[in-house]
A and B are shown apart, each in its own frame.
Chain A
Amino acid sequence: MHIGHKRRMKRPAYRNGRCWSFGVGMLLALVAGVSHAAFRNLEGYVTEATTFYDATTEGRVQMHLRSNGQWAGYVTVSFVVAPAGTLVPLPAATARRMFALAATPGRYVQFLNAWCSAAHPDQCYAHDATIVDVSGLSATRVSIPGWAEGTLRRIQLFSDIARFGYLEFTRSDGQIRRVDFLRNPLQYPMTDFDMDITLGILVHQWAGTTPSLTFENLSAAPAAAYFVMGAGARLTAQR
């Protein structure tokens, strides 16, 4: 009896009813916080781009948001490059490429899975799970000689082990074709330098300066539903 009594005295604190209620309260607060500081999909025209930085972000764009075809105010998106709260930062090279692609006033951009602050809903952040998608009307012709030809539709970049991102174009029959920028180390991927140079060409799209893009030495997927740009492939921009 004496020993049992001592055991009861040493009962862990978490088995105490008050501790459970505290934990449940914390969980509810967390859920409430997350529901306010939400992950959002943003889309609209870039109105301003700046090199502005702080302790955890580098580069920022301001967008005029579109929602259901209506203008829906302005929002700024900063690129997270160092741990910020619960947000995982973008790798430096990915952040650099995303900013290079998006930081153009007038460009139609989507930030998928951006994180927006609860206190300041007009301040959002691109982080490791964010996808940058650039689209809009384009007159640029995309050609894969012998395989497919069409008009540029979108370019997307993300932080992923298998791909740097992809480009989509629309064939004359309306079908959509995709070129993946391969990063998968188990195959023959593009290097970071390859991707940088490829992006150096792609960032100038939607500026009216490049009427044609030609891909060579791509790998074609079965039935040519999509193509893969790996080591040895080539992109050429020409007027």
Chain B
Amino acid sequence: MPVQPLRVRPRLFRWTRINLGVVGQALLVACLILGEVHALHAEDVEGQVVLATTARTSTSFGRIEVRTANGSLVPITFIVEFGEVVNPMRYDTARRMIQLASAPGRQVRFTRLSCTHVPTTRCMAIDDTNVEFAGTPIPITLNGMAATLQTVSILNNQALFGHFDVTGMPSGSTRVFIVRQQLRGGPTPLSDNEFDRVLAILAQSWSGTTPALALSGVAAGLGADVMNYHHGSALYAYRP
């Protein structure tokens, strides 16, 4: 009776086959991760807010949609938890940016968003993101001097909460920094509570309800065109 030869694969072939499978899977995962990372770009988005919602996911709270100058609609989510391949914002910074941006019709400019265009355009406000608000200039009195408020910026920054840009000062343009951290010899910073009060007033700017602002007790900065809003300064909104 003929004996069937035992069919045994060569050892080398078996080894190669197994390892090709493992290496292939690893390469696939690496490509996916690299692809995802490369799909995210740091981008600036400027336009008019058309929608604001409280929608939340496991990593984000709130979303706004911005209509850019070329007519495209860009959704922006605010990342506040780890889980994406980006660093989240601080809770308080996200809350403040959402409060200022959640006014349909408002002109905004986000810088250093993390955006992807695959499969559709969507952006995330993350640890690096700053935002600037502008619109019709608002009259402002700065330490008793008449000027015009042009923009307000909220920064996700250790040293500053943000800054105002005003024009019409003797020095020309002036930037007023809102101090968050005390530097050597610098002014006492604002507390989070104090900044929340400032923000509450600024959030209503450009909505037609705050015809005039006054800023008092602002300290001179290092340059002629720099001032510091610190602990003890005060912001007023009033109807002249």
Chain A residues in the interface with B (C-beta under 8 A): 47-53, 58-59, 81, 92, 96, 99-100, 103-107, 193-194, 196-201, 203-204, 206-210, 234-239
Set of chain B residues within 8 Å of A194, measured between Cβ atoms: 54, 56, 61
Q: A236 to nearest B CB, angstroms? A: 4
Query: Complex Cα distance A209/B53, Å?
Result: 15
Contact of A236 among B52, B198, B211, B235 (CB under 8 A): B52
Query: Complex Cα distance A77/B120, Å?
Result: 49
User: Which residue of chain B is the closest to A193 with respect to CB atoms?
Assistant: B61
Show 7 A/B contacts (Cβ-Cβ < 8 Å), sorted by A: A48-B236, A53-B197, A103-B200, A104-B209, A200-B52, A200-B99, A210-B103
Query: Complex Cα distance A199/B52, Å?
Result: 12
Judge whether B104 is part of the interface by a CB distance below 8 angstroms: yes
User: Which residue of chain B is the closest to A47 with respect to CB atoms?
Assistant: B239
Assess A105 versus B198: contact at CB under 8 Å? Given A201-B102, A203-B99, A204-B102: no
Set of chain B residues within 8 Å of A92, measured between Cβ atoms: 193
Looking at chain B's contact residues, is the secondary structure mostly helix, strand, loop, or mixed? mixed
Query: Complex Cα distance A50/B211, Å?
Result: 14
| A105, A203, A239 — most chain B CB neighbours (10 Å) | A105
> Contact between A236 and B91 (Cβ–Cβ < 8 Å)?
no
Set of chain A residues within 8 Å of B234, measured between Cβ atoms: 50-52
Query: Complex Cα distance A100/B51, Å?
Result: 20
> Contact between A49 and B236 (Cβ–Cβ < 8 Å)?
yes
Set of chain B residues within 8 Å of A236, measured between Cβ atoms: 51-55
Chain B residues in the interface with A (C-beta under 8 A): 50-56, 61-62, 80, 91, 95, 98-99, 102-106, 193-194, 196-201, 203-204, 207-211, 234-239
Assess A103 versus B237: contact at CB under 8 Å? Given A81-B193, A200-B99: yes
Set of chain A residues within 8 Å of B211, measured between Cβ atoms: 105
Assess A50 versus B237: contact at CB under 8 Å? Given A58-B193, A194-B54, A203-B204: yes
Q: B206 to nearest A CB, angstroms? A: 9
Assess A51 versus B54: contact at CB under 8 Å? Given A58-B193, A200-B99: no
Set of chain A residues within 8 Å of B197, measured between Cβ atoms: 51, 53, 58-59, 96, 99, 103
Contact of A198 among B50, B54, B200, B235 (CB under 8 A): B54
User: Which residue of chain A is the closest to B229 with respect to CB atoms?
Assistant: A51
| A52, A107, A193 — most chain B CB neighbours (10 Å) | A193
> Contact between A200 and B193 (Cβ–Cβ < 8 Å)?
no
User: Which residue of chain A is the closest to B190 with respect to CB atoms?
Assistant: A51
Set of chain A residues within 8 Å of B51, measured between Cβ atoms: 236-239
> Contact between B91 and A193 (Cβ–Cβ < 8 Å)?
yes
| A49, A51, A81 — most chain B CB neighbours (10 Å) | A51
Set of chain B residues within 8 Å of A207, measured between Cβ atoms: 103, 204, 207-209
